[in-house]
Amino acid sequence: MSCPRGCCANYREHLLGVTISAGRQPKNVAEAQLGKDLDAYKRLVQSGVQPKGIDGSAELERGANAKHEVENRNLITDPQLRGKVTRMFEQAAPPVLTPLDAA
């Protein structure tokens, strides 16, 4: 009796020949994306903005229009909402520093 697909002599051999992958991107694609993200991260830091991490920095660099979008890793696509949030960040009082923060 052959396996259900007909590719092996029996079902046991078919199961032994099956490999399960994690569904990850090929290494070269992931490395290329990491390289793009790292370059974008460096440019963002040089421009005075501090992203939370390297992953996704290329997308943030392309789509962000305000400093708070990069620092919070939250791209706002609605123009009206983007304007409101930007105004709120501009009007917000600067954080109060404690003696421990200043040291």
**pLDDT score of 25:** 60
The DSSP secondary-structure symbol of 72 reads: T
**More confident: 49 or 20:** 49
- pLDDT tens-digit series, residues 40-80: 999 999 999 988 889 999 999 999 888 888 888 888 889 89
35-44 mean pLDDT? 93
φ, ψ of residue 56 in degrees (nearest 5): 85, 5
